[in-house]
Structure formats: C-alpha cells, structure tokens
Amino acid sequence: MATTFQDFLQSYQADPAYQNRTAYFCMEYAIHQSLKIYSGGLGFLAGSHMRSAYEFKQNVIGIGILWKYGYYDQTRKGDQTMDVLFQEKVYGFLEKTDIKFSIQINHAPVWVTAYYLPPEVFGTVPVFLLSTDLPENDYLAQTTTHRLYDQNLEARIAASILLGIGGARLLEELHYQPDSYHLNESHGLPLAFYLYTKYNKDIKEVKKRLVFTNHTPEEAGNQKTDIYLLERMGFFSDLPLSEVRTLSDTHTNILDHTLAAFRLAGLSNGVSKMHTQVLQKMWGRASDISPILSITNAQNFTYWADKELYSTFQNKDTDKFTDRKKFFKRQLFEEVADQTGEIYNENVLTIVWSRRFAAYKRADLLLYDTDRFIQLLTNKKYPVQIIWAGKPYPTDYTGISVFNRLVHFTKKYFNCSVLVGYELKLSAMLKRGADVWLNTPRITHEASGTSGMTAAMNGALNCSTPDGWIPEFARNNENCFVLPPNDPTLPEHEIDEIDALNLYKLLEEVVIPMYYEDPKQWQHMVNTSMTDILPYFDSGRMAKEYYELLYTHHVSPEVTNLSNDGLVNLKV
C-alpha cells in the first residue's frame, strides 16, 4: 500500500486559515539540542520557524537532511585550544519510514530514504529528513549525508542535489503536492531545475510556486561553482547546458547559485530591512530577478524565553527578577567553572559574545588594543566578567586561530573565558546568564543576526553595531547600547579601529558605570528591552509574514519598482 502524507499525520491538522500547502527546504534545522543537524544561525532560524508554524497550525512541512555525524562536536586539545570531533549520532525519536527511491548523482543511482520527526516530539510542523545511509548504496553515496557542509566540493554538490531533487521526489512519493516550495537559502537550488522539467519547461509555472530566502550578503555564503562540474554531477536534472544558461542568464562557466535562485523564484526576500537594501544594491541591476521583499528574522518566544523571568518583569517585582537572573548566572558559571576552572561572581557585570566565529563578526574586537582591554579587565572599581563561545567552520583555520588566540589570552585572566559546545543548550544558558549581549559585526555584513533577540527575551541588554536587525529595534540608551554607525566603504582595518575605540569608550563611560552606579536605570532599560522585543521579534510574526507575503502571494505583472526605503511594493 502506497505511503501518503496523511499516513504520517497523527496529532497535526492544519488550520483552515492556512490551506496553502508549503514545503520548506533547508539544509539545517536547530530544533532541539538532541537533534544535531545544524551549524548556526540558519538552523536556529529554521527551527524557530518550524515551531511557530506549528503554533499557528500552518500547512507547512519541513524537508531537510539527517546528518549522520552532524556538523561537528567542538572539543579541546590538550592545551585547551579547539579541536574537531565527528561522532556518529543515533536518534530514537525519529521514525524510520519505508520510503525508498533513487536519484541520479554523478551519473549513478543513489538510494534515498526518509526519517520522520512527528510534530508532537518537539512541537514543530511535520519534518522529513533525507538519508543516503543505506546498504544499497556504496560508501561514497552513503557519505552524502554524513557531514553538514562537508569541506569536499563534490560532497556539498551531492548534498544540494539530494536536498533539492531528493526533496521533490520525496514529496511525490508521499503524494503531496505543495502550492509553494520555499528555498531557505540556495543550497537546494537543484529543486528549481527539477520543477522546470516537471512543469514541461514552463518557467512561469516554476515562478508561481518557488520562493527564495537569502540569509547573507557574504561572499562565502553565496556559492559560485563551475557549471560543467554541476552538469556532470546531475545538478540540472539532465537539462542541456544551453537551456541552463538561458534560464539562469549565465554567460560564463561559473554558476552563481544565489543569482540563479533570484532569477528562478517568483518572489524572494531578505531577512532584515537593512539586509534587503544591501541585496538590492548587490543584485538589483541584474536582469530578470524576482522582487525582493523584506521579512525580518525572529526567534520563537515559547522556546527561548524563561516564563518565570517574564512573569516577574510583568509584575514589576524587581527583587524576584534579580533573584531569577542571578539563578541563571549561577547555572552559567557552573558551566564556566567546569570547562575552564574559573569561578565567577553573580554580582559582577557579565558580558557575553557568542555566535559563529566568522571573520566579519569580529570575535576578537575587544582585543584590538590589548593594553586598553586589560585595563578594562583589571578595573577593581568596576569589575567585569567576559565569556566567548562559538563554533568556526571546522576547516576555517582563520576562525579557529581567532578562537585559539582568545583561549590563550583568557588563561592569563580569571574573569574571562572561552567555552566550547555552542549549540542550543549552551546558547540558552549564555543568554539567560548574560547581563550584556555583545554583537560586533562590520556594518552591512550581518544579514540579520538573531542571537540578540533571544538574549533580550531573557533580560540581557544588547550592545551592538547598528547592523542586521538592530536598526529595527534599537533606541540607544533606552532599550540597548548602540555603537555609532561607521562608514562601510572604509578599509577594513580603519573600520575595525574606529569600532574598537568606540566600543571601549561605550563600555568604559556608559555601560559598565551604569550597571554599578545606576541599577534603577539599568533595570528600566532591561524592562524596556523585554517589552520592545515582543511581539515583532517573536517568530510568530515572521511565520505569518512568510505565509501571507510569500506563500500565498502570486506574482503579478503589476510589480512596481523600488520604493523609497529600498523595498519592493506589490500591487494586489
């Protein structure tokens, strides 16, 4: 008997208000600490989206990949510097389906199966995870689903084919016909070419169904690949290269995955207003790209926020709020002590920098002027404690060297430390224990950045450059601390110098003195931050916008040009 999508639905029925069927294609999902199939912000965002879609009972299903070795486990070498461990993961809560089909990768059949994450396990919409780890496949084919973002180019291409074409084939096996296909980043781009062949090479039919979200303006996050290699691997569903070139408007031998996605989708979006404006500048003059909307990222309040902390805040019980915050600080400091042997004080201002170690995020900006930073660290009148955490890509040796530099520096001082294992559990612990959430990207490089949203939900004040989502939230010295805007056209070393000096000044003259000298003003800012973060930066708003603006909005020939704020207007 054929397996259908309805066979998997037990406790989940879509609300009649959300009848448009949407399949959400994403390479990673951060749904729960125990399900290690994510690397960073993209996964955190996807996890919150799937949770909020579940809370509204939206007609959405997630399509992803079950990574046998996850992303990687961040460990330490003997001298405390970073090491990388790939360890097999086994999940008893996933349902192994009897679905099995084959797709072509590199001119060879590769067998695919799917695992099912029922909605009731973690409170998400239905999620299907593809795997090639089957005895029918040779070892090379099995490794397609071994490591998220494998350093081998052909392995990454194979994973993209699996997500895009394998995901579409899975839906056919389930007899599930989406009204919308959402490419959450361009990793699943082969889906677009598969749909083109599926709908009799009618690009208008593809554009009616395909929507695309870009999550970064960074070069490293916008893949470009030799078009002949992609053709050999089966990326284009056996379409002639001449047709691929016409569809993607590619006139060189390099396919720009992001630009192709913008051209093949009917609608696209950036993940903050500022990011969308950056995308318009980057891609707006390219021919035949889809309209680019702005849908600002958000995070799921239900999952991330401590309800007791919010209750004390809403009841204006400052003493209980302070007690709850110190309870979380003690929990975090136990982890610090366990990892580093350092004992922190719950009454001391605690600053946390925690996110993926990418160069533009500048984890070591505080060390720009080492002498000045040491003065800040050793100030007995205004003591501070500083914690770093984050995972560089396992082969990003520049990022790893920054991590290791911080490790060696913190060995000399007992009020700063670097933690490993930055995943959902540690992320929540850091946000609840932080007094200040430090965010230091170079302006225009951070598409959105969502860690500060969940920090604010847990009583931490953001201290940030005005990038990503921050300009949509920030009221300087009212709900957060914002560095003065910098000129993004300056050379990077000048940008870093200006931002570092402004950061020292802000910490020394405003942030740290306020914490100790004016606790009422500090608490007022915390209260304002916790008020302002909701509801706009709860992913419930985001999930509704995706559904209403992207999933149910058919492209009209009456799409207008850019409005004054750099966003598209749509006549409906």
Burial class of residue 347 (count of CB atoms within 10 Å of its CB; 0-12, 13-18, 19+): exposed
Please tell me the distance from the alpha carbon of residue 260 to that of residue 532, in angstroms, as a whole number.
Answer: 37
Supply 208's token pair.
């009616």
* Domains located in the chain, CATH noted: 5-294 (3.40.50.2000), 301-537 (3.40.50.2000)
- pLDDT tens digits, one per residue of 296-321: 999 999 999 999 999 999 999 999 99
pLDDT for position 563: 35
The length of the chain is 572
pTM for this entry: 0.95
Helix axes 241-248, 190-198, angle to 10 degrees: 110
* CA gap 203, 205 in Å, rounded: 5
pLDDT in tens, 251-268: 999 999 999 999 999 999
Predicted pLDDT at 248: 95
Please report the pLDDT score of residue 2 as a whole number: 55
In this structure, what are the phi and psi dihedrals at residue 56, rounded to the nearest 5 degrees?
-90, -5
Determine the pLDDT at residue 8: 79
Q: How many CB atoms lie within 10 A of CB 497?
A: 15
Please, what are the averages of pLDDT over each run of 10 residues along the chain (572 residues)? 70 89 97 96 97 97 98 96 97 96 97 97 97 98 98 97 98 96 98 97 96 90 95 97 96 96 96 94 86 96 96 94 98 98 98 94 97 97 98 94 97 97 97 98 94 98 97 97 95 97 98 98 98 97 96 53 34 24
Q: Identify the bridge partners of residue 75 per DSSP, sorted by sequence position.
A: 83
DSSP character at residue 538 = B
For residue 235, the 8-state DSSP code is T
Q: What is the pLDDT of residues 421-450, one digit of tens each?
A: 999 999 999 999 999 999 999 999 999 999
